[in-house]
Chains A and B, each alone.
Chain A
Amino acid sequence: SAVISQKPSRDICQRGTSLTIQCQVDSQVTMMFWYRQQPGQSLTLIATANQGSEATYESGFVIDKFPISRPNLTFSTLTVSNMSPEDSSIYLCSVPSDRVYEQYFGPGTRLTVT
């Protein structure tokens, strides 16, 4: 299994600012995924980040708002830009296992925008 860490674990930010969330995996993986979980809601896939290529965003999510970097096979960042209170959510990264049906999730970053 993969061990995933995220930084920060939580943060409180002012509206209009940006926050960069880090995701570190203890093994090399080609694909990494970023999810958002709004308060009391289920998870929604934001984008897929492949090393060496641009991230692929899901409907409703754009690069200007959620830029993603994937500099190597063990690390990715998600930036939440120009934040508003509606961006208050838990942001999680995940990676697939060797078995295509299983994904490992990080502990999440709890973001509150005031």
Chain B
Amino acid sequence: DAKTTQPPSMDCAEGRAANLPCNHSTISGNEYVYWYRQIHSQGPQYIIHGLKNNETNEMASLIITEDRKSSTLILPHATLRDTAVYYCIVAPPDYKLSFGAGTTVTVRA
């Protein structure tokens, strides 16, 4: 029972911004939006999270719509090292992460 919907893949040019969409129309009031990524042959890595407001950190920005039914992860200047599978996860803050299929992002030179 997937809580999020993401495109299976997307390409991005090196140096350009990568905008990764995620739909979560059944999100509950106490659920956060988390983004993780998994570079090939490594464990997942936390990127960012948010509840209602837009968030920014050193890795990315997270834009959440006002109705919280969708969000966009923005990698401002994609590099080849950003090639990975990106997971959008909706969950309460209880440590249990349910990973969907994610979006395979390929950054091309």
- The chain A residues found within 8 Å of chain B, CB to CB, are 4, 31, 33, 42-45, 48, 92, 94, 96-97, 100-108
Known: A101-B32, A105-B43, A106-B43; 11 extra A-B contacts, CB below 8 A, are A42-B99, A42-B100, A42-B102, A43-B99, A45-B97, A92-B43, A94-B43, A94-B44, A102-B49, A104-B46, A108-B41
Chain B residue contacts of A108, Cβ below 8 A = 41-43
Measured CB to CB, the closest approach of chain A to B46, in angstroms, equals 4
Q: Which of B34, B42, B99, B101 contacts A107 (CB 8 A)?
A: B42
Is B93 at the interface (CB under 8 A from chain A)?
Answer: yes
Contact surface of B with A, Cβ cutoff 8 Å: 32, 34, 41-46, 49, 87, 93-102
Q: What's the minimum C-beta distance from B108 to chain A, rounded to whole angstroms?
A: 22
User: With contacts defined as CB atoms under 8 Å apart, how many contacts are there between chain A and chain B in the complex?
Assistant: 47
* Complexed CA–CA distance, A4 and B44 (Å): 12
CB contacts (< 8 Å) of A94 on chain B: these are: 43-44
CB distance from B43 to the nearest CB of A (A): 3
* Contact between chains at A44 and B95 (CB < 8 Å): no
Residues of B within 8 A of A107 (CB): 42-43
A-B CB proximity, top 8 nearest: A105-B43, A43-B99, A42-B99, A102-B46, A101-B49, A100-B93, A105-B44, A96-B95
For B100, give the chain A residue with the smallest CB separation: A42
23 contacts between A and B (CB under 8 A): A33-B95, A42-B87, A42-B99, A42-B101, A42-B102, A43-B44, A43-B97, A44-B99, A45-B98, A48-B95, A48-B96, A94-B43, A96-B95, A100-B94, A100-B95, A101-B46, A101-B93, A103-B95, A104-B46, A105-B44, A107-B43, A108-B41, A108-B42
